[in-house]
Amino acid sequence: MSTMAHGRPVFEATGVGKTYANGTVALTDVDIDIREGEFVSLVGPSGCGKSTLLRMIAGLGQGTEGEMRWWEQDFGAVGQAGRKLAFVFQEAALMPWATVARNVELPLRLSGQRKNAEQVEEALEMVGLQDFRNAYPRELSGGMQMRVSIARALITKPNLLLMDEPFGALDEMTRAKLNQELLELWERLRWTVVFVTHSVYESVFLSTRVVVMAARPGRVLDDIVIDAPAPRSKEFRASHEYHELCNQVSESLARAAVL
């Protein structure tokens, strides 16, 4: 099965710019489209506006020029659900006084839903933490804490998952393991994912597309299709195809650094 996705539009930006009140130009002339079922990674140097663009895709910010469109507003709802968005941040941001299960069920409580032990258990099973439901964050490794954060996002059953460098602080072995687990979940559940990372290798392994951004001001430099077969595994990481794609993204980033 190819990882290429040709679903309906989820988000489109045309000629979008973002200038802050102090005159800082964060983004300029951004054209990007995200389609249903894609896994799109945003890469680029620090200060290129990756996280700003991610927040705009979430509807948490507006551009100061250009046009942005979201599926439920302009394209029609996906299925019957419309956009169900979940956001995973750089830090796990868990409540230290609450158990893993209580941390995972937080979105249900905040939205006024009744506690649902079955949903909590399902989310924990997705990330392999069902045996740690009664543990506290201080008792978990960094990788396990990030799994809790992902489970907390998944309990809402999103169809759009936005992730802002969630594995950036982890060691390489843990990061590679979580990459594999995330990809397996995406292949099974087919969310739309937009993923911010500084890692070329991570972006190529995970994505159907890698969008390379240049800084000062932030803009899209390249949009590289990763048309590799799924499921991907450690064998893919060792393949000539993977290394060629990594080189392609690296060369684009090198251009971004001097523009």
Domains present along the chain, CATH in parentheses: 9-84+161-258 (3.40.50.300), 94-157 (no CATH)
- What global pTM score does this model have? 0.90
Provide CB contacts within 8 A for 61, sequence distance 6+.
18, 52, 55
* Closest alpha carbon to 105 in 152, 147, 138, 148: 152
Q: How many CB atoms lie within 10 A of CB 115?
A: 11
Q: Quick check: 187 and 231 in contact, CB under 8 A?
A: yes
Mean pLDDT of 160-187: 92
**CB burial readout 123-158, b (16+ within 10 A) else e:** bbebbebbebeeebbeebeebbbbbbbbbbbbbbeb
Q: Which residue has the tokens 């800084």?
A: 215
Q: Quick check: 195 and 178 in contact, CB under 8 A?
A: no
Label residue 60 by pLDDT band (50, 70, 90): confident
* pLDDT at position 112: 67
Mean pLDDT of the chain: 89
- Has residue 81 got a pLDDT over 70? no
Mean pLDDT: which of 44-48, 110-114, 240-244 is highest? 240-244
* pLDDT at position 26: 93
Mean pLDDT of 9-22: 92
